[in-house]
Amino acid sequence: MLLAIDVGNTNITLGVFDGEKLIGNFRLNTKTPRTSDEYGFAIRDILKENGIHKTGEGPEKKAIKGCIISSVVPGVMHSLTSSIIKYFHVEPIIVGAGTKTGIKIVTPNPKQIGSDRIVDAVGAFRKYGGPAIVLDFGTATTYDLINEEGAFLAGVTAPGIRLAAKALWQETAKLPEVEIIKPKSILAVETISSIQAGLVYGQIGQAEYIVKKMKEESGFKECKVIATGGLGGMISKETDVIDIYDPDLTLDGLRFIYEKQFS
What residues act catalytically?
Answer: 116
User: In Å, how far from its chain's centre is CA 216?
Assistant: 26
Nearest 5 degrees, angle CA 35-CA 40-CA 41? Answer: 100
Closest CA to 29 of 12, 46, 15: 12
Count how many Cα atoms sit within 13 Å of the Cα of residue 197 in the half-sphere of its side chain. Answer: 12
- Per-residue exposure over 191-218, b if at least 16 CB sit within 10 Å of its own CB, e if not: eebbbbbbbbeebbebbbebbeebbeee
Angle between helices 77-88 and 36-49 in degrees, nearest 10: 50
